[in-house]
Structure 1
Amino acid sequence: QLDWFPEAEYSALYGLIGDGYTIDQENMTVTGPLVDGDQDTGIELSLRSGGPAVGYSPPRVVMYADDSIHLGLANTDSSAKSFDDLPLVAVMAPLEKNPQMIMWDPEVYPDVSTLADLGTAGIEINLSGSTTFADTFVARGIWSADQINPSYDGSPARFIAEGNIAQQGFASSEPYNYEKVFEEFGKPVAYQLLHDAGYPAYSQVISVKPSDLDELKPCLERFVPIVQRSVLATAANPDQAIATIVDAVETFDSMWVYDAEIGRYAVDTMTKLGIISNGDDETVGNFDRDRLATIVDLLREAELPVPDDLNLDDTFTNEFIDPAIGF
């Protein structure tokens, strides 16, 4: 279960689907043979769109409502907050860094280079509702609460018309769109990743319900290294994965629009920024326990709801990672 429509952030997953796949327009799924490079594993893989396709329910909610779903994506900060009610165990991180960022117009604010600078300058930050990361920045004094405007609805109109605000987005898409697609803006934006600003949550990690873990272990022992190899392969050559993504988006014929150009930009940018990369070691896809602990500490510092008895080691495992697979 994915958390949005097909896009290049999921290139390693769409790269697992071989020729002969089918697209279900009504349910917004892509189903086909699971491949490991050129080898057909004999297993069928189904990728289910998230976001509007499931009424904006987070994957964990969908997983607990539908036992036919074996795996889903989750962000590790949300998983910590929800562990008492809807626990998930993270088993692999296709992305090393969260591609989320905050952006601004560098012509308007030439002296701003970090999210901390936004706070110092008192610049309004337009966000989509109440966000966990913003609460932690306020708690640490990086931003002030009165800077945050939670009215962002995904439209570029206000950023373009006013020009003097900062706005949330993804490094894998908004910089391309504001320079190449939105002609009334038509220039580069400046931005900093949440990760690089001190919020190192893992995003869109492959997760499983704890109650399913033992049963799925034989599968995960094979599947996780296959995904690791797909991360390497699609970073080097994303064309097949992007073609499948674009085919799905066009077949779905929904409000979501995506083409090969932004897909290639996304993979190139994520690779350049270390969003797709190894961690601090030579392995791709594994978890750094200290990073996970940092996020829990930040959530608690901001007085956000984290179970008092949360055992961090219950929330993730590197058991299925092949440490020899990396860039």
Structure 2
Amino acid sequence: MFLARPRHLAMVALSAVPLLVLTACGGAGTADQAGGAAPIDVPAAEADGPLDLSGVCPETVVLQQDWQPEAEHGAMYSLVGPDSTVDTEAKSVTGSLVAQGVDTGVDVEVRPGGPNVNFQPVPSLMYLDDSIMLGAVTTDAQITALADNPVVTVASQLTVSPQIVMWDPASHDGATTIEEAAAGGDPLVSAGDVFPRLLASQDIIEDAQIDLSYEGTPQRFVSDPAILQQGFATAEPYIYENEIPQWGKPVGYQLLSDVGYSVYPEALAVRADKVEENADCLAKLVPIMQQAQLDYLDDPEATNELIVDLVDQYQTGWTYSLGVADYSVQTMKDLDLVTDDPASGVFGRIDPDRMAEIVDTFGPILVDAGQIDSADIDPESLYTNEFTDDSISMGS
């Protein structure tokens, strides 16, 4: 299966000191205003202009994420206007869809994934509920779902995957790469087998080192620092050094993208049978999503506060601090995880050659893993650049 995203569900303690503590929230209403701030008047978009979604998009544009609220999802959450309300039972936030400082004339609802949806893949959710306009779908998950729940990628948000393999430098002779850290034969602990199979296919690790027992807690890493473990460059290095007192020091890591994990992470996807039907909406919405990611990285403060507030209100056992959110944004910038498409210079555009490479690399791996029956996949069926605005780039 595709790589799951468990991070640090607050369920496990070491000795007498909790590694992670459940956040507290007063009251459990179903329509609380996010952050408790008073609504702010937002000017309306110019009628029939590029930011006016009324009449072409649904009255509420539903966006489905693949995991709990976090900064990697900042573009979606940045569109939620100051009049937002939170449904703590359904685990969603809804408000006016505000883009580039104007009210687009429709609402937006952002839904988290993971435990909030019983860990169902986003393509499955999109076929169960056709109100979902855009879902965040990583390419290997998209390929896995192709037979039963096909979706089409319409834009990327993160250009490069933030997924990493991490290790304790002191236990691995100061290793700086996955290959060096794995040379001693220690287990690589993960929740999914796609990237471990990729590493094994390149002889970076042995098959015997693959351990699929990761549960999203730091307990094993802290108690057995000889292991290697999955993680995200945008979270675990900060969390382990600053928020896990039983560790409290840097970890070593390498991006999986450095060793062939070339998927588009959490790309924006539409149900394959809904692309034509929603074309007029997507023609305006996709450029808004392109620009929203860039605007969020330029000014993330308010959105990060919303994300942390939602985590507090949802009360799922997921913990997320402003420190992690700020670190995530800076890391996305420092490691060039969000960049223009190198082939075209357009932010959010899908590169045909890269998509073909992804299919060539991951099709056989997913067949071997028993996730798909055939690697005979047309890369062009997985994406369209019809709706991206070629004038949007990080330099514009």
Structure 2 length as normaliser, TM-score? Answer: 0.79
Q: What letter is aligned with 1:172?
A: T
**Residues 1:171 and 2:233 aligned together:** yes
More helix, by proportion: 1
Q: What letter is aligned with 1:169?
A: G
Q: Which residue of 2 aligns with 1:115?
A: 178
Q: Which residue of 1 aligns with 2:380?
A: 313
Which digits, 9 at most, give the CA deviation of each residue in 1:83-139, with x for residues without a partner?
Answer: 1211000011110011111101112223422223234332321111x4212112222
Match of 2:209 among 113, 132, 147: 147
**Residues 1:57 and 2:124 aligned together:** no
Match of 1:191 among 253, 260, 269: 253
Which digits, 9 at most, give the CA deviation of each residue in 1:11-61, with x for residues without a partner?
Answer: 111111111011100000011111111111011111011111111101111
Relative distance call for 1:139 and 1:242 in structure 2 (3 A) is same
Distance 2:264 2:145 in 1: 15
Distance 2:237 2:376 in 1: 41
Q: Which residue of 1 aligns with 2:55?
A: none
Q: CA RMSD in A?
A: 1.5
Cα drift, residue 309 of structure 1: 4.0
Q: Which residue of 2 aligns with 1:137?
A: 199
Which digits, 9 at most, give the CA deviation of each residue in 1:248-270, with x for residues without a partner?
Answer: 11221221111212111111111
Structure 2 portions without partners, runs of 5+? 1-63
Report if aligned partners of 2:137, 2:269 keep a CA contact under 8 Å in 1: yes
Moved more, 190-199 or 179-188: 190-199
Q: What letter is aligned with 1:197?
A: V
Match of 2:278 among 207, 216, 231: 216
Which digits, 9 at most, give the CA deviation of each residue in 1:191-216, with x for residues without a partner?
Answer: 11111121111111110111100111
Give the secondary-structure state (helix, strand or coil) at the position aligned to 1:215. coil
Report if aligned partners of 2:123, 2:145 keep a CA contact under 8 Å in 1: no
Report if aligned partners of 1:80, 1:306 keep a CA contact under 8 Å in 2: no
Moved more, 135-144 or 161-170: 135-144
Cα drift, residue 319 of structure 1: 1.2
Bigger CA radius of gyration: 2
Q: What letter is aligned with 1:154?
A: G
Structure 1 length as normaliser, TM-score? Answer: 0.96
Report if aligned partners of 1:81, 1:306 keep a CA contact under 8 Å in 2: no
Structure 1 portions without partners, runs of 5+? none
Q: Which residue of 2 aligns with 1:257?
A: 319
Report if aligned partners of 1:92, 1:321 keep a CA contact under 8 Å in 2: yes
Give the secondary-structure state (helix, strand or coil) at the position aligned to 1:164. coil
Which digits, 9 at most, give the CA deviation of each residue in 1:136-188, with x for residues without a partner?
Answer: 22223222110111111111111111111110011111111100001111011
Cα drift, residue 70 of structure 1: 1.9
Q: Which residue of 2 aligns with 1:206?
A: 268
Identity of aligned residues (%): 37
Match of 2:164 among 101, 120, 138: 101
Give the secondary-structure state (helix, strand or coil) at the position aligned to 2:360. helix
Q: Which residue of 2 aligns with 1:325?
A: 392
Q: Which residue of 1 aligns with 2:188?
A: 125
**Residues 1:20 and 2:87 aligned together:** no
